Chain A
Amino acid sequence: MGSLKGKVAIVGIGEVPTGRFPDKPAIYHAVESAKRAIRDSGVDKDEIDFVMPTAAMFSFSYVGELTTGRVAEELGLKNCKKNCLIFSGGSSGSTGLQMAAGMIASGTAKTVLFVHSDKLGTGLTAQGGIDLFSVSGISPEWEVPYGQHYSTVASLSTTRYKYETGCTDEHFAAVCVSNRKWAELNPNAFFRKPLTIEEVMASKMLSTPLRAKMSNMLFDGGSAFIVTSAERAKDLPNKPVYILGEGGVVTHHVFSQEPDISRYGWARAGKEAFEEAGITPADIDVAEIYDSYPIYQVIAFEEIGLCKRGEAGEMFLRGDTWPGGRIPCTTNGGMLSQGHTGAGGGVAIMVEAARQLMGKAGERQVEGARFAVKTGTGGTYMDAQVTVFGTEIP
């Protein structure tokens, strides 16, 4: 099997702020993000031959528009050969990048636009959001009748993880604080005021031990990236962000079928990605770890090898993952602080990984970042997707 290592690069990124924008239709977030990504990349829009929108969750009819070429048409792409929706929930950015990379490496596509947009903040009521996330990706036969929803999914993992490792609720609160420190420096994040452990621990209990401030909130937003060959990337203005390695595993659909709810498939996916990349977790300068809830950031961080099991909580607590820390983590603030935009949380950290390696992260730039790792997962954490990036090919 051929490796994609070093053959393909992200060359442009675009993003709009995450928030509540009742007057902006979802397509604005898609087209504006895509426009920014194209301009950032330096490619001519008519070089784009494949458009990959990912699905929005607030509206089926909007997904229909994305499926049938609206983004390509709004942008006036004259040489678009394929428009195809790529969707695996929160891992869509990872799976989409992998598919784009495979097509580019094989010559099937030359320049791919991946774009996300959603309107979960103003396209649904608050209870509508809770109800959507109590059925979407949750088995209507085996779990919906028991009141399963995403807070309980995260809490079941948290309870078991605490039992096995001895970590405390303060460790999970520390993840929220760490992500917030980054969001304070991110103009596209929704939550930018400083946050303390005490505030997290004083917030309303949702499902034990998960509290309101340990839970993401739903917003509108969009982001996009442009992928092309490493060869083409050399002539473009941004520092190319090469795909060095990739690993993935799908472990369940129905949550009860997950063999290990306090580990998931991260260890295997991480091993594959680092082996292909030819670097180790110790070489990573910035870790863009999918959050949605603190437990998932902790588990993925540990399982892909950034530290040993049971140690991540202390690292988040003492600042190793904060700005200026030893291993900066989820540097846009993640879904916990930038905000949850459906599949967009995983796309936003993909864009952030590229932004950091391009050296364009402004106040939150990790100085001299050469290697980044990015994780993504969809549904009730049905898969574990790991991508390793670099500005050089080791």
Chain B
Amino acid sequence: MEIPEKPSPEVNPWAKPFWDAAKEEKLMLQKCTDCEHHIFYPRIACPHCFSDNVEWVEASGSGTLFSYTIVENNAPSAFMKDMPFVVALVRLDEGVQMLSNIVDCDFSELRCDMPVQVTFEKLNEDFTLPKFRPVRK
């Protein structure tokens, strides 16, 4: 069967700084200047204290692997050629959680709560996706 192109993120206007930064291989988060929580994904107002005073800050890119799965069969059409690949839930040190892929890894080394570090993969001319890899000592 014909494999469709990988889906690009459908960007909300207020999240554009996130994607612009990702293209420059920077992981940016919103931070509320009133309650000081970091925010992911980007919002129009702080989801914790409802303040409008949110700013963009660069994240450390460090976190832990909260959970993961290795996709071996029945992937969405656009991901057929990628199998096997890892879908993961990562908890950043800033206290936010994001979905991503774990790349540059031996599947057998994956464990919940292991440290991971951001890395960037170019999707196409318009988008670079933040992904993660295990931290090696």
Binding site for B on A (CB under 8 A): 127, 130-131, 134-135, 139-149, 151-152, 155-160, 163, 204-210, 212, 215, 254-257, 261
Task: Considering the complex, give the chain B residue whose CB is closest to the CB of A160.
Answer: B67
A141 in contact with B67 given A131-B76, A151-B74 (CB within 8 Å): no
A156/B69 in contact, CB under 8 A = yes
| Chain A nearest Cβ from B110, distance in angstroms | 9
Question: What are the residues of chain B within 8 A of A134 when measuring CB–CB?
Answer: 76
Question: What are the residues of chain B within 8 A of A204 when measuring CB–CB?
Answer: 73
CA distance A127 to B74 in the complex (A): 8
B9/A210 in contact, CB under 8 A = no
A256 in contact with B73 given A145-B129, A146-B87, A156-B68 (CB within 8 Å): no
Interface size on B, residues (CB 8 A): 40
CA distance A135 to B78 in the complex (A): 12
CA distance A236 to B73 in the complex (A): 51
B89/A146 in contact, CB under 8 A = no
Binding site for A on B (CB under 8 A): 1, 6-12, 15, 40-41, 66-79, 82, 85, 87-89, 97-101, 112-113, 123, 127, 129
A149/B129 in contact, CB under 8 A = no
A144 in contact with B7 given A151-B71, A156-B69, A207-B87 (CB within 8 Å): yes
Question: What are the residues of chain B within 8 A of A208 when measuring CB–CB?
Answer: 69-70, 72
Question: What are the residues of chain A within 8 A of B112 when measuring CB–CB?
Answer: 159-160, 163
A140 in contact with B10 given A163-B112, A207-B87 (CB within 8 Å): yes
CA distance A135 to B77 in the complex (A): 11
B41/A141 in contact, CB under 8 A = yes
CA distance A205 to B129 in the complex (A): 27
Taking a contact as CB atoms closer than 8 A, the residue among B6, B12, B68, B87 that contacts A148 in the complex is B87
Question: What are the residues of chain A within 8 A of B79 when measuring CB–CB?
Answer: 147
B77/A152 in contact, CB under 8 A = no
Question: What are the residues of chain B within 8 A of A254 when measuring CB–CB?
Answer: 41, 99
